[in-house]
Structure 1
């Protein structure tokens, strides 16, 4: 009955979806494995089992979290897999015919990593002995770029780490003595046909002899090795589309096996006599004897519960908000629909209720009748109107929305709307005639800030110049002319008229109060912004002209009162705003407030509202509240702080009410001085509920991503790609999406076709699993196989004055040494097969009692109390850095310094400052940008490094000083590897361009096309769009999809690293010491003091 109702009610996609429920065909089955006549795979986040010939599948798991990467045991009786039963991703095992999963690992992984990094504790294979499961994990990595391999016994216990320093997808040889593996893991990266430094190759590692051999050397992707007899099967994109190839260990040659030309082969897995893999959402089985593939049809008797429409609260999905003209209702856009919420009485209204469409940028008309907004219900962003009470039909205003549009702004008479678009143009549209008029355009940046004069005859806006400074302009609708208001030597924004038409207010960065750094005599400017006002009429006095108290005679008072009465009457009749253009740039005066960081400028009669915010650091900290809402009284010339902390606000059309946002709280207060606090006038958002049709929403998200890339991708030719064809190719799989992760996968496949860096997709409304946090001690554990007790193999020292580097066992009063045994945790015995981490569940930040002894016996044991930490990652990273620093110090006899830059953002800049200035008098410096995650500060660091010594100065009672200050008068070497990424590509590229020194290591990532922000989707997921591509001085594109070659190539081969070596660092030391010996650079000695008699 339900299917019949949907059939007669739905069209297009809905028809197809209902047909799918009743058909035998299913797609988007993921991560399959095969054993004889059975296939296990993931569908909608659960494990399913089906015959290898196809047919009806049977569900094995039902948990709300994800179950992933299932692998049959060699005898087919068990399935190892990764799962999120307790929030964290861990290794589990289950009988292959179904049953209760058994948890094998407990250690917490890296939290909140984006999808492109993959998963922790990822099951890869079974050992040939059938007793141990191979998985990869971050648990002992010092950087999130790579994971290590571990074996865990199906009986439990403690994982055994393989000695390889890093590994991706891996397959055991038939006898278990060797592995074929990728050293690099990038299998969740959404970048097809990649050929940068992070390209994957197939290697063989001999577990017994500790030797490695590379067997493929293609410049692109060779991944997913599968070892069968004397052949290694793998996936390669060497013929554009990823297919399965076979490498013969006897002939040492590779040949192509499959020939798919539309979709890539994904996630192949080897069985005793066949390989199962994904292609275009289908499962295929490749017979290894005949080398023929066949598509199998699987029927999944699933209720598709995650695709069912449901009513949800959308208060956590608010994108924008404002007020009705009288302040009695608030307007919200949330989860793609538009709502009005009463200030006090009445019901919440959903004005659009459009499943499958996204409304945004809603705004209330000044006359209170209409709501204007953008909607993509046609497939493009168009401008619409709907009555504020939700009655009547909506009105479509525009029909040419084939590009992204910005926020619409009503004219005071509610007859026109201003808007801008990504084509760098500003327009207004007549609501009644729907006629669009272009006001202005630019080639230097987007136009964001625009507003109307009170009579609707003028438009003020900020437009960028080639300097990237914005200037204020005004446009006359009557004369069709543009006039400059501010000079191009200032950076101005947010122009807004006062309601009387006398003034134009705006922000401008004109306060130059230079600040010097503590370590570096470099200047910067902060809190430069003030509010400025332009008198629009040449004969108007400055609003801040000098005042004087005078005695007022009776007849003058009566005359003044009559004039005030006349003014009040005139206000009822809208007068035309007259602007004297000549000399307008000279009529700018500052509003008497302190300079600061400001945004959100609004004007009411005689008042200005705005938000001030503290100076934020690159690492996210701020010295005060997030933001403070201010009201400046023009008549009294006094600034009032209305409310703090706030994230944003808007004001009613009559200027009497303010809606504020503070984190997730919204409220309405009076727009006047007082003592309001957060929570006053609180709005009840629990009525903001809507029925989410997930299938329609997923289609909207997919199409919005496609449009965003079309409109903002840096190359208008989309790298030569038929972008419409890509939408059709991957869009045909949309009806089969059964889980939000499926949608992420499809979007990733589509944007990956652009063959470009920084095409990211992540997040979204997925089933939520409560995370049980496991406490850590900052140690490596070791099992004493004789006693079954666990001892501390290594304690990672930290910096206990920094919370993220707190090492629990090194804190004052905690006397535990390496080699000692932890016999019990909170009176629970810790002995094999108990996993040590299992006793530290839910202990983060809590006091835990440990029973400790120097021997594996309770006799003479002592008790110690500690507070476990949530993550050891920073401790391990710090230990690696400090180890490198000591190596350099010892190998160079203190002549050379060492700096590691983890990224090119706040943390990297801080690490540079911490390490550069203390080592500035070294004779050389090694800058290590391996594993650099990128950012945007490389030019700032390079500016310091390229300073040249040109002079010296001295003082009688102090040492000598360099000119310029902060200059390193020594040699430099840069170390790179394949994980030097994004701005970590830029750094070595320009390090070479500036001639600062040699580059040692491996070719970098090659991801140079940058992004500006993470773009939110309707369900709080996000994507990115590559918008900024570098090119060289000769007009050539640089770095992208290749990287930066080192001057001296050195690979940290696994067999050397296992022995405790770092060949790249060792070569850097060798190179810089040779340079110091050949070309010593010493500071000039102070000359003899002059004699001037």
Structure 2
């Protein structure tokens, strides 16, 4: 009933599935909607009995479900054997062996629809171990020769695979011990070891959240990186057999920010690693032994002086670094900075760029056989080489070429992707109770439908249905699909929607847009009568005239609302190049921000400033800091706005600028007085109010919760969406990206912030009529409240914590 004041009436009563995509007929007599995999119809005059619509469609597949694909890149990983004659690499879930020179045919080692990955060579190259989900869980498998004619694994053409672990918890990061007698691996963040047949499985380090580890060359020590609950990671060294009471793990960094990517020099005297110090990840080298006085004897190679070892660290340059590998001799380090490969001396005195063209190096491996050679995988999944001595960036890059033909069956591939999505959440979703869902039952319900969804769009929708059972945020599957061949750009103007005549009447020209050019002289009130000679009328679809024209000039016939007069020439032709929406959107955002700041200034007579933070990321932080210092620091109060903020992880950085108290004054002999000596240390100490809405997302919810908890000011607007989880992403077998919510976020009172939004102190729901009139009621209320509180002195009273009802 659409009458004013009418109450909504529930007309469906589905229990196991939710209603989606409801549509009403033109005469209002019936509704159709989706529920689960089915379509239902319901008569509005008799809504008690929804009717399931039976659809039988006998059609052929729209495409060939089996496709022969040739891969010359897209390698997911690679591993080089000890004598550096062979490489094993992964492509689309299978493993291949090939000569390191790239000459000759690649030999297929595994052949299943499952994902085989994480391969490691045995030190003597007699076998390899790898991880696979072929059993439905991530387990460790041993790969050996089964070739009578070529019994050596390095020459074999036939292979046998043996599963050597069987545990519900997933394994990762497997390696052979340097003597080849043991296999080490991580199991849910704990370090384990076992014999080659899987027997005598032993927990080497019982503490969880180990992210990576590296063997000392002599096999006596292991260095590992372990993260704590605040994302800080330290490096520890233990005996390879495991720590003991007498010889516990030794913290060798003692700088609890982020320390990772450790590698040893071949003499065991140095470890290179990445450490985040002063908010920037950089390259560091640690000496394992103390300096030796003249005439004194060095310790044996591999011996470690643990006393004050954390102080024997030196920075190598000052570049932002993500991955690093020390050279065998310990004199140089290869590392990634930005999207390129670099090499530096351990003293930092010589830094050379080895690559160009954004190669995005991964899995960097420094040859022990030819110490001038570095192997890596680029961003396209090609195996590449670089010379450490290269003097010209990009001049000495090479390739380890491969060419693989693979028949991929769509049904098998989709089942594997579905299983990967389900299993990744089964293993890593932050809530072990899955928000109340029976996760095994969810798999049983949706997996049989996979074979009925061969098209990517349908299959992705099916996965989304499964994800919806969790009622959680930060979930998603981004599949690789062909981009749109044509896109529709825009003219960069706003038009008068009330105009009833022919053409488009200009209401506003968007600043810095395609229509805002010197010499065009387009003005509000003018009318666009035609585009590229096509006269505009209600029957003409403007978007069709602009489709695919983003790189082309279009001709606009422009004039005023009177009949054309050849004598006065009140119509003219203007040529402009339209812009895609992705380029227009930032301009519209700047327009919105400008109007908001203008309204706040007008309402407060210039006393109150306004800052919108578009995202809790570096760009949003930069905008906040610039606006705070340059535009608003002299204001008496501040309206802070995180509506439509997409999140990130800079809440603490923003909070660092708010709520402090001046403690000291600095006075120049001639000039102004200041509270700090460094400009970037200035804090906002005056009143502030925060606007939120239901599209304040993720970290833009953590921020207002902290704002309220710390008593910095009042919240105005709508409750936030309740979509807060710490998430990461991983690649699936076909290259698709899948998001995994791994970390829960809770308030001090223990409320799970996922599905429970942050409540405002002053609730202001938006009104569609206000939107049409250009009225921002939430902004107006924020200014009214802070002006009133400035007058009364009630500046930081937020009231008791409001707990919203969970949305599950």
TM-score of Structure 1 vs Structure 2, range by shorter chain = 0.7 to 0.9
Distance verdict in 2 for CA 1:637–1:989, change over 3 Å: closer
2: distance between equivalents of 1:601 and 1:946?
40
What is the 5 A alignment of 1:53-202?
none
What is the 5 A alignment of 1:890-929?
890-917=602-629, 918-929=631-642
1:1016, distance to aligned residue in structure 2 (A): 2.1
- In structure 1, the residue matched to 2:260 is 493
1:534, distance to aligned residue in structure 2 (A): 1.0
Q: Output one character per residue of 1:1017-1065: Cα deviation in whole Å (capped at 9) or x when no partner.
A: 222322222222233434x225332211111111122223323322211
1:451 aligns with 2:214: yes
1: distance between equivalents of 2:326 and 2:641?
52
- In structure 2, the residue matched to 1:1063 is 777
1:862 aligns with 2:572: yes
1:430 aligned residue (195, 203, 211): 195
- In structure 1, the residue matched to 2:513 is 807
What is the 5 A alignment of 1:352-501?
352-355=110-113, 357-386=114-143, 387=153, 391-422=157-188, 424-432=189-197, 434-443=199-208, 446-464=209-227, 468-477=232-241, 482-484=248-250, 486-489=252-255, 492-500=259-267
1:1042 aligns with 2:759: no
- In structure 1, the residue matched to 2:590 is 878
1:358, distance to aligned residue in structure 2 (A): 0.8
- In structure 2, the residue matched to 1:215 is 7
Query: RMSD value over aligned CA atoms?
Result: 3.5
- In structure 2, the residue matched to 1:143 is none
1:773, distance to aligned residue in structure 2 (A): 2.7
1:375, distance to aligned residue in structure 2 (A): 0.7
Q: Contact 1:847 / 1:868 at 8 angstroms: preserved in 2?
A: yes
- In structure 1, the residue matched to 2:94 is 337
Unaligned 5+ runs, structure 1: 1-179, 181-203, 207-211, 217-246, 248-253, 513-523, 548-575, 615-624, 798-805, 1082-1093
- In structure 2, the residue matched to 1:738 is 454
1:594 aligned residue (299, 317, 331): 317
2: distance between equivalents of 1:466 and 1:832?
60
2: distance between equivalents of 1:466 and 1:706?
25
1: distance between equivalents of 2:274 and 2:688?
41
1:319 aligns with 2:76: yes
1: distance between equivalents of 2:513 and 2:576?
10
Distance verdict in 2 for CA 1:1076–1:275, change over 3 Å: closer
2: distance between equivalents of 1:680 and 1:895?
60
1: distance between equivalents of 2:497 and 2:47?
47
1:983, distance to aligned residue in structure 2 (A): 1.4
2:467 aligned residue (744, 747, 751): 751
Distance verdict in 2 for CA 1:594–1:354, change over 3 Å: same
- In structure 1, the residue matched to 2:398 is 681
Q: Output one character per residue of 1:235-290: Cα deviation in whole Å (capped at 9) or x when no partner.
A: xxxxxxxxxxxx2xxxxxx4x544x3333333343446544433331333445548
1:433, distance to aligned residue in structure 2 (A): 5.5
Q: Output one character per residue of 1:347-380: Cα deviation in whole Å (capped at 9) or x when no partner.
A: 133321212x011222333333433221100001
- In structure 2, the residue matched to 1:101 is none
1:890, distance to aligned residue in structure 2 (A): 0.8
1: distance between equivalents of 2:239 and 2:380?
38
Distance verdict in 2 for CA 1:891–1:325, change over 3 Å: same
2:477 aligned residue (748, 759, 762): 762
Unaligned 5+ runs, structure 2: 144-152, 796-808
- In structure 2, the residue matched to 1:841 is 547
2: distance between equivalents of 1:324 and 1:850?
65
2: distance between equivalents of 1:462 and 1:404?
19
2: distance between equivalents of 1:1025 and 1:786?
50
Q: Contact 1:439 / 1:475 at 8 angstroms: preserved in 2?
A: no
1:1077, distance to aligned residue in structure 2 (A): 2.3
Q: Output one character per residue of 1:48-74: Cα deviation in whole Å (capped at 9) or x when no partner.
A: xxxxxxxxxxxxxxxxxxxxxxxxxxx
State the TM-score, normalizing by the size of structure 1.
0.64
Q: Contact 1:848 / 1:868 at 8 angstroms: preserved in 2?
A: yes
1: distance between equivalents of 2:521 and 2:316?
57
Q: Contact 1:895 / 1:922 at 8 angstroms: preserved in 2?
A: yes
Q: Contact 1:417 / 1:429 at 8 angstroms: preserved in 2?
A: yes
Partner secondary structure for residue 346 of structure 1: coil
1:1031 aligns with 2:746: yes
Q: Contact 2:173 / 2:186 at 8 angstroms: preserved in 1?
A: yes
Distance verdict in 2 for CA 1:339–1:945, change over 3 Å: same
What is the 5 A alignment of 1:241-256?
247=9, 254=10, 256=11
2: distance between equivalents of 1:900 and 1:739?
41
Distance verdict in 2 for CA 1:457–1:215, change over 3 Å: same
- In structure 2, the residue matched to 1:232 is none
Distance verdict in 2 for CA 1:972–1:821, change over 3 Å: same
1: distance between equivalents of 2:309 and 2:615?
46
2: distance between equivalents of 1:814 and 1:414?
75
What is the 5 A alignment of 1:876-1025?
876-917=588-629, 918-962=631-675, 966-1011=682-727, 1013-1025=728-740
Larger radius of gyration: 1
- In structure 2, the residue matched to 1:304 is 61
Q: Output one character per residue of 1:428-453: Cα deviation in whole Å (capped at 9) or x when no partner.
A: 2322464422211324xx22322223
1:925, distance to aligned residue in structure 2 (A): 0.9
1: distance between equivalents of 2:521 and 2:349?
64
- In structure 1, the residue matched to 2:35 is 279
2: distance between equivalents of 1:308 and 1:492?
46
Distance verdict in 2 for CA 1:933–1:674, change over 3 Å: closer
2: distance between equivalents of 1:850 and 1:354?
59
Q: Output one character per residue of 1:739-793: Cα deviation in whole Å (capped at 9) or x when no partner.
A: 22333223222232223222x2232144x25421333221123589886333323
Q: Contact 2:274 / 2:322 at 8 angstroms: preserved in 1?
A: no
Distance verdict in 2 for CA 1:1017–1:849, change over 3 Å: same
Q: Output one character per residue of 1:310-336: Cα deviation in whole Å (capped at 9) or x when no partner.
A: 112345643222434444544332221
Distance verdict in 2 for CA 1:532–1:582, change over 3 Å: closer
State the TM-score, normalizing by the size of structure 2.
0.85
- Relative contact order (alpha carbons < 8 A, sep ≥ 6): 1 or 2 greater? 1
How many residues are treated as equivalent by the alignment? 760
